[in-house]
């Protein structure tokens, strides 16, 4: 009997000017990489609201990767600096809530770093694969069907 091994779904938010171009370079260079990541292109990592990360988890992502230009190289000068500050705060918050930090990854990948992109994506996919499917968030989605009663039981 064939058993299907779990393949994680990774959502990657990447900045247009650096990482997306780098990923493109990895493609044109015919570098081999795993295909579990779906890229979402944003103009700059500064555009990324942590709400995007939550929505990704809500909609079934097992892991999230965020990648942008190296500090100093941002196309808009300072976008990635602001983003970096936000990520420091947001990582702690998600950790506190119980979302494992192994599911949320960040990287700086420039437009010339096709090889680095492949390495980063492979590493993230392998890490998340070891963690398993993100069932607890997915199970929050199991609202269908549900009886119309919501009775809270005394919890001591």
Q: Which residues bind another protein (CB under 8 A)?
A: 50-51, 54-55, 58-59, 71, 78, 81-82, 84-101, 105-108, 120, 123, 136, 140-141, 143-155
Give the nearest distance from C-beta 32 to another protein in angstroms. Answer: 19
Q: Please identify, using beta-carbon distances, which residue of 1 and 51 lies nearer to another protein.
A: 51
Q: Please identify, using beta-carbon distances, which residue of 1 and 146 lies nearer to another protein.
A: 146
Q: Please identify, using beta-carbon distances, which residue of 17 and 87 lies nearer to another protein.
A: 87
Give the nearest distance from C-beta 1 to another protein in angstroms. Answer: 28
Cα distances (angstroms) measured from residue 56 to each of 30, 94, 104, 149, 150: 28, 14, 11, 29, 27
Give the nearest distance from C-beta 65 to another protein in angstroms. Answer: 9
Give the nearest distance from C-beta 138 to another protein in angstroms. Answer: 10
Phi and psi at 74, nearest 5°, equal -60, 135
Q: Please identify, using beta-carbon distances, which residue of 3 and 55 lies nearer to another protein.
A: 55
Q: Please identify, using beta-carbon distances, which residue of 30 and 144 lies nearer to another protein.
A: 144
Q: Is 20 helix (H, G, I), strand (E, B) or coil?
A: helix
The answer to whether the beta carbons of residues 117 and 19 sit under 8 Å apart is yes
Give the nearest distance from C-beta 116 to another protein in angstroms. Answer: 8
CA neighbor of 67 nearest in space, from 27, 123, 130: 123
Annotate 105-118 with b (16+ C-beta within 10 A) or e (fewer): bbbbbbbebbebbb
**Beta strand 63-68 pairing with 10-15:** parallel
Helices within 37-113 (DSSP H only): 50-58, 79-97
């Amino acid at each position: 009997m064939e058993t299907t091994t779990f393949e994680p779904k990774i959502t990657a938010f990447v900045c247009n000017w650096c990482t997306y171009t780098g990923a493109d370079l990895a493609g044109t260079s015919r570098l081999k990489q795993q295909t579990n990541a779906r890229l979402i292109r944003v103009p700059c990592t500064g555009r990324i609201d942590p709400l995007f990360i939550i929505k990704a988890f809500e909609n079934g992502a097992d892991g999230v990767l965020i990648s942008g230009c190296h500090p100093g190289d941002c196309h808009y000068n300072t976008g990635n600096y602001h983003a970096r500050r936000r990520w420091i705060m947001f990582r702690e918050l998600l950790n506190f809530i119980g979302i494992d930090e192994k599911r949320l990854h960040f990287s700086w990948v420039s437009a010339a770093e096709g090889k680095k992109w492949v390495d980063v994506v492979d590493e993230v996919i392998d890490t998340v694969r070891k963690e398993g499917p993100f069932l607890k968030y997915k199970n929050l989605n199991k609202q269908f069907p549900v009886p119309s009663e919501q009775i809270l039981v005394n919890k001591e």
